[in-house]
Amino acid sequence: MYLVGFYSPKAKSGVTELSLSIYNWLKANTNLSVAFISYGSLEKEDCSNELIHEFAKLTLTEQKRKVKAMKKKHDIIIYDASSKLSEGVLKLLPIVDRLFVVGEEHKDFAVKLHQIIQFDKIFDKSVKNFITHLSGNKTFILQEKKEDRVIGFNHSKKETNEIGQMIYTDYLTHYLHEKFIEKNEKILKKIRKLPKEDLFNGLYDMGIDFEIALLFQRYVILRELLGQDYYEALEDLFPLLIHSPFEEILEKFQKELYIISK
């Protein structure tokens, strides 16, 4: 149910070594069901139901189908994207729940990659997350030092425990969020039944704050102007409505408004 990606723009950067060490750490230190996917081929590890390599040889549709099936069987999946910046890697990265860019010298690259992923998830249906996360956007790049906003890790064995603990803690948080999905689905169904022309009043009657209800209606209208189906827009923006403060929704709304006004 939880997918962690590891990537680096530099060849021979130790991505596979790092991701495998985290995979083995999780298997040794938790009681979770853990699986491993490698975009390339592995020389030492045998392929099995929980350890798959040469993922690049599958079509994007087959990759997504495989990941979706594995998410039903395993608690955590480690995805070794290695160092190949191919179209296939870029199209699969948006489905990860947590993304590590290895090597803090790649901060600028990591920030740009994250921006591309976020943009594609909004506007390109071919890379849209095929697993709906009603609890909000789950694609992150972890920061090593919050005060410096440094992204990524220079891998060493002593960091395996720290990163493993971080992923395990993040998984637990993710699991708790998933517990609320059923409740959120009921709310979303109610919203979908509201008259389109009276969405604002319907949301307000449901207990949504006045300014958030009004902004949400305008956001949906904006998405329709961008060519998105009304009900798809409701579902895409629903996590913002439920989990984000007015200021965050307004910021995202203004960014998309700026794009179409250019």
DSSP string, the chain: -EEEEEE-SSTTSSHHHHHHHHHHHHHHH-SS-EEEEESS--SSSPP-SSEE--GGGS-HHHHHHHHHHHHHH-SEEEEEEET---HHHHHHGGG-SEEEEB-GGGHHHHHHHHHHHHHHHHH-GGGS-SS--TT-----B-EEETTTTEESB---HHHHHHHHHHHHHHHHHHHHHHHTHHHHHHHHHHHHHS-GGGHHHHHHHTT--HHHHHHHHHHHHHHHHTT--HHHHHHHHHHHHHH--HHHHHHHHHHHHHHHH-
* Most confident residue range from 47-61, 126-140, 150-164: 47-61
- The residue with greater pLDDT, 215 or 111, is 215
Identify the band that residue 142 occupies on the pLDDT scale cut at 50, 70 and 90: very low
Over the chain, what is the mean pLDDT?
76
Write out pLDDT tens, residues 89-110.
Answer: 666 665 677 777 765 555 666 6
pTM score of the predicted model: 0.58
Identify the band that residue 113 occupies on the pLDDT scale cut at 50, 70 and 90: low
How far apart are the C-alpha atoms of 38 and 5, rounded to whole Å? Answer: 10
Neighbours of 227 (CB within 10 A): 7
Those residues whose C-beta lies under 8 Å from the C-beta of residue 30, and which sit 6 or more positions away, are 168
Beta carbons of 220 and 234 less than 8 angstroms apart: yes
Write out pLDDT tens, residues 187-223.
Answer: 889 999 999 999 999 999 999 999 999 999 999 999 9
Domains delineated in the chain: 2-179 (3.40.50), 182-261 (no CATH)
Identify which of 114, 109, 107 has the alpha carbon closest to the alpha carbon of residue 150: 107
Instruction: State in Å, rounded, how far the first CA of the chain is from the last one.
Output: 39
How far apart are the C-alpha atoms of 233 and 123, rounded to whole Å? Answer: 11
C-alpha angle with apex 23: 163 to 53, nearest 5 degrees? 130
Those residues whose C-beta lies under 8 Å from the C-beta of residue 31, and which sit 6 or more positions away, are none
How far apart are the C-alpha atoms of 236 and 136, rounded to whole Å? Answer: 9
pLDDT at 226 over 80: yes
Q: Which residue is it, tokens 């590890």?
A: 45
